[in-house]
Structure 1
Amino acid sequence: MTKDLSEKGWNFDNSYARLPKVFFTSQNPTPVQSPKIVMFNKSLAMSLGLDREKLESEEGAQVFAGNKIPDGASPLAQAYAGHQFGHFTMLGDGRAVLLGEQITPTDERFDIQLKGSGRTPYSRGGDGRAALGPMLREYIISEGMHGLGIPTTRSLAVVTTGEEIARESYLPGAILTRIAASHLRVGTFQYAARWGSADELRTLADYAIKRHYPEIEENDNRYLTFLHEVIKRQAMLIAKWQLVGFIHGVMNTDNMTISGESIDYGPCAFIDTYDPAAVFSSIDREGRYAYGNQPNIGVWNLARLAEALLPLLHENQEEAVTLAQDKLSDFAQFFELNWLEGMRAKLGLFNEEEQDKPLIKDLLDMMQKHGADYTNTFRALTLDKPEETILMGTAEFTQWLERWKARLGRQQESKESYIQLMKNSNPAVIPRNHRVEEALEAANNGDYRVMEKLLEVLSNPYAYSPEQLEYTTLPAPAARPYRTFCGT
């Protein structure tokens, strides 16, 4: 620890830097010409125990750009591997540097990472830089996910660098300061299993357990329990994605965290019209990471984690495989429990009945058939305004409403109680794709007011406030489908 926790400011520890050297390369960020803070998350800074005033100054811009290394930091680039669209490859932080781990006034530990901070030994020919648009996009989406109550990395700041970077055209450069419970990934364990020794794999697993699952350190087979706990967290996380209509877009194994946080908001998006086959990412040409396929990809990724952990699960490989398969088979049940609980809450249901699942499925099928907006359909039901959905007037929806009202009437809770449950479970607003693009376009022209207003609305998406009403409107019909692009 570098200082008294009662003081404001950087309070770095560097536990990852104490791991075997195979897992990282010590690396300072590459300085930039003229950094300028364009976004700064004041409330997050305060919760981290940082000196807000100092960070809003020129000194803060120098730190967030990587031009100045804070006292106590030990910058490094992490090594990891990953299956990208099913193909295994060596990866690593090709354009990011971990400054260290901030210890907060409440004794929590968070990674402080600069994304877009220059080339590293893992850059694989890339320039190590990031464009302003994708960094602002990650800022919006990650803070939007936080507002929705979904475990996520967060964004502390974005600085412009005063430099241009070459993509399809020349774009303004930027660096994002990302905050995470850690940057340990499924791909970190794949890397350890392929290129590390058995002792290094064990050391990594012990580190992950100590950092994220300390309650299981004394378990007889803590590595099997570790796998079990990661499976549980990921099942819960992906269920939360499905419940709000979020599509990650690039669920490679290097983008699945051990902590259970959402990470890497590249070609992600939120669905408007409900469609399990929805894909927005320009690079997902086969629909591997479609909205409805995310649970399947989740368990596929977790199987890769299980493979990496096999040497730790049992000395007999056949027995290790059996143990791993047994744990992986629990994913479907964990996901279903979380998803069903969430869907019941979205419909105001406190208890469980056998016919709840058909009730939910029939609503989703109608939404898909008629092209209904996912978020606004549940919003209309919450406000008891079914006439505001395009489903209204169809015989099947009229019958469904009767079934739903009868189901609500069979529970003891009052109407006020179930409406409040629905308000707590159905966001009035989400980071709609056209609103995100609108904010990014304005910011690229130097106007950050649109983005700031959007962030304010997204900070409490369950408020159902008058200010949120304009953000519930759907985009105008487009000639071409909405597409998102990878920031590199």
Structure 2
Amino acid sequence: MPALEHLRFDNTYARLPSAFGVRVAPSPLADARLVSVSPEALRLLELEPSEALRPEFVEVMGGARLLPGMAPIAMVYAGHQFGVYVPRLGDGRALLLGEVRTSTGEKWELHLKGAGPTPFSRMGDGRAVLRSTIREYLCGEAMHALGIPTTRALCIIGGSEKVYREEVETGAMLVRLAPSHVRFGTFEYFHHTGQREHVATLADYVLAQHFPHLEGTPDRYARFFEEVAERTARLVAQWQAVGFAHGVLNTDNMSILGLTLDYGPFGFMDEFEPGFICNHSDDFGRYAFDKQPRIALWNLACLAEALMPLITEEEARATLGAFSSRFHAHFLARMREKLGLREARDGDAALFEALLARMAEAHVDYTRFFRALGRFDSSPGAGNTPLRDHFLDREGFDTWAEAYRTRLTAEGSVDAERRERMDRANPKYVLRNYLAQTALLRAQEGDFSEVDRLRAVLSRPFEEQPEHEAYAAAPPSWGRHLAVSCSS
């Protein structure tokens, strides 16, 4: 594997016209040091873990030393934030350092968050705080381990610099990786500023880099939009299946590749609650759990408007009109997996909807119950007492359990085999807010061991890990309904 200095950079985005961003040099943190690094993300760059132990690693990843071929740029974009269009956002505290090309031809953008002020900082200091950096670092890697498309978190760089939010906090940097950081809002910026030629420039760039199978086809832009919608539908269905909610689902936080992008406020549900709001700043519940599919569609409509010079209204309407059915098909497939069902049959949607209704009524822990459901005994007369004890209305659960038993019998399900399937679909470990809070509180005291330990546990979410059983526990009383705001 190559050493750090031998990474090959190919900065295609930096070669786009100057309207696409502003060249800015990073502002390193004082007394920069490595807080944590993801070995799995390192391997994406074909780097050995030992490379992260070298002083040069902190210099490069912290922006103090630019490798040959790096071309730091603050990307410009706009976006609808909580439904209100903001005409100019852009990387106000982040820089695209460069694009690494691996020996297999993969491209990974290195994006440094907390890199200091840029022309898009809007009077801000351009810094990130340690607590938000830890949350994004842990969640990016946890989502990947769950099989959900996401940006990856390479490492956290800490330092002695203080930053001012609601209170004085410690500054930090996060290096994240993704094939692309182009957003819905990137297209919106050029559309709403009347730079229609750059809408086409951006679309052609994205197609060449990430949708090469569409290049040269007469309807390539319409098919591109359709694929973005498909990826978005699948992504939100995957979120919903694990009980995850994105707290700031603005168009500037929507990836054109269907990746989970920008972990500000987010949350994995503890008790199942359809109207779960993970963002303390979301006063009206715009991004509540049960509204996320609809918001994704709304955001796609904003993207469609930006693409209108390239696609027809009929093409846009056709793709948008198919979104709900696409989402529900993906969601139903995920829920069948969670219930251990091998076949698709009529009545499956009603079966899991009835279960979710009973779970909501009884405030059942979402992750723990679905993991436990793999132990369901489908033999006639089995009481399944451990499962029914999750519910106040035990007889109501018994009614559902009988319908579930009948469904399993109809497809000849074998309990032992079903349990193996369900354990591969229902994680035991997710990044609950109280786990993240514990890790970041210790980190703020200078102890980063819990960050590393938690990342390692979450990298194997479907395994039993008996030595880490405590990480699968329901939240303690202090850890329930923790508030996470946009300032996080």
Do both proteins adopt the same fold according to a TM-score greater than 0.5, normalized to the shorter chain? yes
Deviation, 1:105, is 2.4
SS of the residue 1:310 aligns to: coil
The answer as to 2:36 corresponding to 1:56 is no
Deviation, 1:351, is 0.5
Q: Which amino acid aligns with 2:65?
A: K
Q: Which amino acid aligns with 2:32?
A: P
Matches within 5 A, 1:4-15: 9-15=6-12
Distance (Å, rounded) in 2 between the aligned partners of 1:50 and 1:473: 35
- Whether the 8 Å CA contact 2:37–2:155 is kept in 1: the answer is yes
The answer as to 2:305 corresponding to 1:307 is yes
Q: Deviations over 1:100-158 (max 9, x none)?
A: 11112221111101100000011111110111111011101111111111000011111
Deviation, 1:382, is 1.1
Distance (Å, rounded) in 1 between the aligned partners of 2:469 and 2:338: 19
SS of the residue 2:274 aligns to: coil
Matches within 5 A, 1:363-378: 363-378=355-370
Deviation, 1:392, is 7.0
Matches within 5 A, 1:218-297: 218-297=216-295
1:28 aligned residue:
25
- Judged with a 3 Å threshold, the aligned counterparts in structure 2 of structure 1 residues 32 and 454 are, in CA distance, closer, same or farther, namely closer
Distance (Å, rounded) in 1 between the aligned partners of 2:344 and 2:428: 25
Distance (Å, rounded) in 1 between the aligned partners of 2:85 and 2:35: 37
Q: Which amino acid aligns with 1:330?
A: A
- Whether the 8 Å CA contact 1:130–1:487 is kept in 2: the answer is no
Distance (Å, rounded) in 1 between the aligned partners of 2:282 and 2:95: 27
RMSD: 1.7
Q: Deviations over 1:286-342 (max 9, x none)?
A: 0000011000000000000000000111xxxxxx22221111011101100100000
Matches within 5 A, 1:43-442: 43-50=40-47, 52-89=49-86, 90-195=88-193, 197-313=195-311, 320-384=312-376, 387-388=386-387, 389-391=389-391, 394-442=394-442
Q: Deviations over 1:144-192 (max 9, x none)?
A: 1111110000111111122111112211110100111210000000011
2:381 aligned residue:
none
Q: Which amino acid aligns with 2:440?
A: L
Distance (Å, rounded) in 2 between the aligned partners of 1:169 and 1:355: 53
- Of residues 343-352 and 469-478 in structure 1, the stretch that sits farther from structure 2 once superposed is 469-478
- Whether the 8 Å CA contact 2:142–2:458 is kept in 1: the answer is yes
Q: Deviations over 1:354-374 (max 9, x none)?
A: 111111000000000011111
1:317 aligned residue:
none
- Whether the 8 Å CA contact 2:433–2:479 is kept in 1: the answer is no
SS of the residue 1:102 aligns to: strand
- Of residues 120-129 and 465-474 in structure 1, the stretch that sits farther from structure 2 once superposed is 465-474
Gapped regions of structure 2 (runs ≥ 5): 377-383
Q: Which amino acid aligns with 1:464?
A: E
Distance (Å, rounded) in 2 between the aligned partners of 1:52 and 1:312: 45
Distance (Å, rounded) in 2 between the aligned partners of 1:52 and 1:453: 16
Q: Which amino acid aligns with 2:285?
A: G
- Whether the 8 Å CA contact 2:29–2:172 is kept in 1: the answer is no
Distance (Å, rounded) in 2 between the aligned partners of 1:485 and 1:57: 36
Q: Which amino acid aligns with 1:38?
A: V
Q: Which amino acid aligns with 2:19?
A: V
Distance (Å, rounded) in 1 between the aligned partners of 2:181 and 2:393: 49
Distance (Å, rounded) in 2 between the aligned partners of 1:43 and 1:460: 12
- Of residues 387-396 and 372-381 in structure 1, the stretch that sits farther from structure 2 once superposed is 387-396
Deviation, 1:473, is 1.2
- Whether the 8 Å CA contact 2:434–2:480 is kept in 1: the answer is no
- Number of equivalent positions: 478
Distance (Å, rounded) in 2 between the aligned partners of 1:467 and 1:53: 27
Q: Deviations over 1:446-485 (max 9, x none)?
A: 1122222211111011112313421121122349832102
Deviation, 1:393, is 6.0
- Whether the 8 Å CA contact 2:165–2:487 is kept in 1: the answer is no
Q: Which amino acid aligns with 1:274?
A: F
Distance (Å, rounded) in 1 between the aligned partners of 2:300 and 2:485: 25
Deviation, 1:52, is 4.1
Deviation, 1:66, is 0.9
Deviation, 1:413, is 4.7
Distance (Å, rounded) in 1 between the aligned partners of 2:36 and 2:128: 15
- Whether the 8 Å CA contact 1:209–1:216 is kept in 2: the answer is yes
- Whether the 8 Å CA contact 1:219–1:225 is kept in 2: the answer is no
SS of the residue 1:99 aligns to: strand
- Whether the 8 Å CA contact 2:25–2:72 is kept in 1: the answer is yes
Matches within 5 A, 1:35-46: 35-46=32-43
Q: Deviations over 1:403-453 (max 9, x none)?
A: 111111111453333222211110011111111111111111111222222
- Whether the 8 Å CA contact 2:2–2:47 is kept in 1: the answer is no
